[in-house]
Amino acid sequence: KNEVEQSPQNLTAQEGEFITINCSYSVGISALHWLQQHPGGGIVSLFMLSSGKKKHGRLIATINIQEKHSSLHITASHPRDSAVYICAVNRGSQGNLIFGKGTKLSVKP
Amino acid sequence: DTGVSQDPRHKITKRGQNVTFRCDPISEHNRLYWYRQTLGQGPEFLTYFQNEAQLEKSRLLSNRFSAERPKGSFSTLEIQRTEQGDSAMYLCASSLVQGRWMDTGELFFGEGSRLTVL
């Protein structure tokens, strides 16, 4: 079993829908990252959080440390949100990240 | 552009050849990470540097792989005697970490170097 699991693996939505991507992890962490990867490979950091909730524009990330779970929400989804969303955790005992396999999101107009 | 840059973007080589990738991080960043990503998978950690010191190296990294960051600025990743299984996207990221060494800070990624071994 991977230390970081994401669900769903693939997600198709209609423009305007509210989207939730989930991330569960099995190790103690000091921080969790949400990343966005577009076709062609470029990765952009969306959020880094260790507790509570963060919001940036239409994106919201939450984390529950006790339940070892995080969610990424996209409100009023748009076709330009189509990308792979990756969850990654820092175990806190090492200075590097463990990545999930990603959730491929496709938003149809 | 002052982001993370990687070179080359694409490399096709024959099995057994050596290849070298270069990463230029954001200039004030002290951390530099190398990751490998294959199709349909998330990135896998290879190694990272704090300034010029290589602090950790993944067990995934065989002795055919070596990375350097000689002056704490750019880094190179060399793969010797390439194998078809080395075909992947090699990603570099940098960050600024102040304080706890086990933190990663917010990572800024390059566009990656795609390696194809024939």
Check if B102 contacts A (Cβ < 8 Å). yes
Residue B112 to residue A41, Cβ atoms within 8 A? yes
A95 → closest Cβ in B89, B103, B112: B103
SS3 label, residue B64: coil
Instruction: Render chain A in DSSP notation, one character per residue.
Output: --SEEEE-SEEEEETT--EEEEEEESS--SEEEEEEE-TTS-EEEEEEESSEEEEETTEEEEEETTTTEEEEEESS--GGG-EEEEEEEE-SSSSSEEE---EEEEEE-
Residue among A2, A13, A4, A29 at smallest CA distance from A81 = A13
pLDDT for position B2: 73
Check if A57 contacts B (Cβ < 8 Å). no
Check if A55 contacts B (Cβ < 8 Å). no
pLDDT in tens, A44-91: 999 999 999 999 999 999 999 999 999 999 999 999 999 999 999 988
pLDDT in tens, B18-51: 999 999 999 999 999 999 999 888 899 999 999 9
Check if B44 contacts A (Cβ < 8 Å). yes
Chains A and B form CB pairs within 8 A to the count of 73
Instruction: Give chain B's mean pLDDT.
Output: 91
pLDDT for position A13: 97
pLDDT for position B59: 84
B42 → closest Cβ in A45, A86, A90: A86
